[in-house]
Chain A
Amino acid sequence: MSKILEFIAKETDGKNYKSYQYCFESIDIPKLVYEDKKGIQVKKKGETDRSLTQYKSLKDLADKLSNSSSPLFKYFLDGSRRTYKVDDIAYGRRLYPIIAGQIGVAVCERVDRHSFKPFLLSNPLVISIPENANATTSLGSNDLFFNNLMNKINQQTILRKQNLKIEKILPYKNTALKDNDKYEDRGIAKIQNEMINLEQNIVFNLAKKKKLNDNSFLIKDGSLEYMKTSESKELSQIKSNYDCVVGVSKLFNPEALSNDVKDISRKIAELPVYCRTPAFMYQTERIPDVKFSVWYLRIRKTNSPFEGVLKLEKILVRDIQEDEGLDSDEIDLISANIINERNPVCYGKDARWANHLYPVYLTENYIKSKYLSDLHFINLF
């Protein structure tokens, strides 16, 4: 039974080397990767209440809400991917890595306190190979070629027998490398982009099903500042989909806003429990058309300064929001509801427990449970 790599090599007239296969995530030493990006322009005031300069306690509001109303957040979105270097392949004089990946994006729904169910799941298997795998022509779209290749791969016995399917081939640029650039990173970036696309699609889906409204918000794990530049028409659509979405980052760079906000990291570190900072408005170079409101909230008192602090983000959707910032009452409501999500904790299961929200943790685990095991996946190739 010929495996997928041999087939790709044969089909694209390359030479494969049966080199060491490994999962990028499993050999990397976990390191602090901040989820926010560089090139930020900050406006100090990201909310309507201009008087707030230090911090604001939301404990009373949180207690009131927990006694009187149902939680604001009903949906929880998380996405992750596992990438693998499965082989090297030679095209012409250069050697390129073949990167394979498993992507998982899911939304879970909390119907009531005792019932937590998956709502949507997308978990495709993908491969990323250099663009010049298509040897025939460099004109026009490569899509046809790669779709064709994908269909042929899916006909392979090894996949058919196990009822598996490669859902996309993501070609990465084979242009010459500069500085620290690596082909591996290009492949991984392609897979990462695909994951982001899927996340956006899933939010789009939820919005289309009218699941998101003033009483039913979505928490997205991680920063919202990940969108790609798009056509302005498409962008306004995307923005309105995100009207009821809050991005919650467990890890963040406390110095991200330091150029514009004095002492920000100290303020965050000294934030008392159940208090939030004022909201700031910012936009990035990469997506200049989108403005974000961002603030920090401490949900737990712990020993180290940034543990128990979450970075919350919301996309400013309406013009008035872009001008005056997000309504402070909305920020308070979101924050108080996040405070009420502080329990239970995943202490003992996840080192980031102090910053984790339990429903998000569950969603993350749900996605992980849907992955093929590394050994299984690698041995398809």
Chain B
Amino acid sequence: MGKIIGKVAATEKKPTTIDEFYFWTDKQRVLNPFDVVKVEHIEESITFGIIEEISHITDSASYLSNFISSDFGDVNTEPNSSRIGMNFVKAKVLGNNKSIYTPVLDGNKVSLAEKGEVLEALGLKNVKNPLICGYMDMYRAEDKISLPVHFNSQFLIGPEGAHLNISGISGLAAKTSYTMFIMKAIQEHYLKQKKGVDSIAFVMFNVKGRDLLAIDEPNEELSKEEKNRYEKMLELSSEPFQNVKYFYPYSDQSKSKTYSYGNDKDIDIQVDLDKGYKYKYVFEDDKLNLDLLFSNIEDSTGTMESIINFIITDQGGFDEVSSWSQFVSKVGEFTKAGRTSGDKEISVMSWRKFKRIVSKALNNSIFSNRVVPEKNEVRLRDSIINIEKNEINVVDIAKLDQDSQAFVFGDVIRAIYELKLGQEEREESEIPSKIVIFIDELNKYASKDIPKNSPILRQIIDISERGRSLGIILFSVEQFKSAIHDRVKGNCATHAYGRTNAIEISKGDYRFIPSVYKNMMTRLDPGEYIIEHPVFRSLLNIKFPRPSYKQFPNG
């Protein structure tokens, strides 16, 4: 038996049940929500519980009694005895080591658990296909224990379950860092693994400043202690990612010929080292993706869709168009009043709307006439469908406007989907068996407000529903989980909750979470998460170290 901290209390009003029990402790004893405790139970078994709520009570019948106890409101009164008081703790039953689930008995001793027991209680002992997802600190001072926490990777990246969703307010939740931590763990796991059938690749989008533009460069600021934590406790190296390729939007305006927040020099170095590329879109190959430019446009009558169809099927002379500029001027022909050619059912007004939207987007230099491979220019789609095993493709879209971002994003998703569906001419054995897509700011593409006909939303829903079997895994991140489309978040097997605000936790998505945990979510520190994963018996409060790759604190 570990350190005894209290005894079970079963009363008329608050009985112990199969699911929960209450115990009292000394008012000076520091415990935290998520701490695991154990209770002696019948047949010499041990029942484990996880702390959900802690209350302090005294024998004071009412506030009035406290007021009177201060000489009717004299704040300077110092009594000889303080009121008798104690803490009582509500704990949820996690399990019993002999599978005895009758309620624990009044007066039984409650004690702190040891490391092995905590792992057993939380279902973390002998996790199959372990994949590190952080560590847990429990208890205080001399009782403190730290232990690594593992996912069952089959529930994170298939085939048992798939997808990870991370939510939390920006800045304080460190959502990107956490996703990167998990991906780092996955990459290392696969790099260590002998070559076999199973392989992995990653595609991630850089949406903020230079966040992900140096993920294969080490973090010089990592302290010795942090490195130790990586290596000793988490059994990971503190090295940055490997096999990374960066894709920047092409631009003719900057020195590095990219449209990015990245430093020109850095980008040039990456290009020289053959890991930096500039992507372009060429009309002849990419016209099929025109619909992606309309993913945020409400199109209830389907007219935009009709125009896109009209163009894709080469009607009205669009077969002769070979560049984006010709395309815009061709569209211009349809916007003139009194035209004779073309589909009569599409009104001039609709063509004008169409033109307005495409012209704005096509102004961007990524829409170009041709690709020059010698200058490390690529069609993004071609690179994505040729992604290698254990490779990471970082697509920079941070500086693009929202519609272009959606276009690039949609194009990449579509490419991956088609690659995994076997529509590309690649040997099955050469294609990574799993591709993880990291989407930051999922709310831009899959929020509840996105028009239902958005091609990107459809694609994301498809991936979240069928991705598990296809080997496409979605790691998505957003500020407010409640804003995300139900079918997308509903299909995520693993959820991580970072710091959020009070309005968010009042939403229906958090209904099943005990109120203390909910309130904890508003106070979590950066680097702290509450995790829900199919193999865990309860929500867990975990921490993770700072990223092992280069950080740009000023964006």
Contacts and interface: CB of A to CB of B under 8 A. Distances in A.
A344 B79 contact: yes
A344 to B, nearest CB: 3
Prevailing SS type, chain B contact patch: loop
A74 to B, nearest CB: 10
Most buried by B among A71, A110, A345: A345
Interface in B430-465: none
B64 A71 contact: no
Interface stretch (B54-62, B95-103, B179-187): B54-62
Given A343-B70, A343-B71, A348 B61 contact: yes
A349 B80 contact: no
A375 to B, nearest CB: 14
B65 A66 contact: no
B81 interface: yes
A349 B83 contact: no
A340 B77 CA distance: 10
A322 B81 CA distance: 34
A113 B80 contact: yes
Interface string A102-146: 000000001001101000000000000000000000000000000
B368 to A, nearest CB: 76
Nearest to B61: A348
Contacts of A116: 81, 84
A158 interface: no
Nearest to B80: A71
Given A343-B70, A343-B71, A349-B59, A113 B65 contact: no
Does more than half of chain A's interface fall in helix, strand or loop, or is it mixed? loop
Nearest to A65: B80
B64 A344 contact: no
A73 to B, nearest CB: 8
Contacts of B28: 114
A358 interface: yes
A347 B80 contact: no
A235 interface: no
Nearest to B74: A343
A91 to B, nearest CB: 42
Interface string A334-375: 000000111111111100000000110010010000000000
B495 to A, nearest CB: 42
Contacts of B64: 347-348
Contacts of A344: 60, 65-66, 69, 79, 81-83
Interface size range on A against B:
20 to 34
Contacts of B84: 116, 362
Nearest to B63: A348
Contacts of A66: 78, 80
B68 interface: yes
A365 B62 CA distance: 18
A341 B82 CA distance: 11
A348 B69 CA distance: 12
Nearest to B65: A347
A142 B77 CA distance: 57
Contact of A346 (B65, B70, B77, B80): B65
B82 A113 contact: yes
B69 A345 contact: yes
Nearest to A349: B61
A345 B80 contact: no
A347 B61 contact: yes
A116 B60 CA distance: 16
A343 B65 contact: no
Given A344-B69, A347-B64, A348-B64, A113 B59 contact: no
Contacts of B77: 343
Contacts of A359: 81
Contacts of A347: 61-62, 64-65, 68-69
B59 A346 contact: yes
Contacts of B68: 345, 347
Nearest to B62: A348
A83 B218 CA distance: 80
A348 B62 CA distance: 7
Given A343-B70, A344-B69, A114 B61 contact: no
B61 to A, nearest CB: 3
Contacts of A349: 59, 61, 65
A342 B80 CA distance: 9
A346 B60 CA distance: 7
B470 to A, nearest CB: 63
Interface string A29-57: 00000000000000000000000000000
Nearest to B78: A66
Nearest to A70: B80
Contacts of A341: 80-81
Contact of A343 (B59, B61, B69): B69
A53 to B, nearest CB: 29
B59 to A, nearest CB: 6
B63 to A, nearest CB: 10
B11 to A, nearest CB: 13
A353 to B, nearest CB: 8
A202 to B, nearest CB: 21
A67 to B, nearest CB: 8
A348 B61 CA distance: 5
Contacts of B80: 66, 71, 73, 110, 113, 340-341, 343
Contacts of A114: 28, 82
Contacts of A345: 65, 68-69
Q: Which of B61, B65, B79, B80 has the most CB of A within 10 A?
A: B80
Interface of B: 28, 59-62, 64-66, 68-71, 77-84
Interface of A: 66, 71, 73, 110, 113-114, 116, 340-349, 358-359, 362, 365
Given A66-B80, A113-B79, A344-B66, 19 more contacts: A66-B78, A71-B80, A73-B80, A110-B80, A113-B81, A116-B81, A341-B81, A342-B71, A343-B77, A344-B60, A344-B69, A344-B81, A347-B64, A348-B62, A349-B59, A349-B61, A359-B81, A362-B84, A365-B59
The 4 closest A-B pairs by CB, nearest first: A348-B61, A344-B69, A343-B79, A347-B65
22 contacts: A71-B80, A113-B79, A113-B81, A114-B82, A116-B84, A340-B80, A341-B81, A342-B71, A343-B69, A343-B79, A344-B69, A344-B79, A345-B65, A345-B69, A346-B59, A346-B61, A347-B61, A348-B61, A348-B64, A349-B65, A359-B81, A362-B84
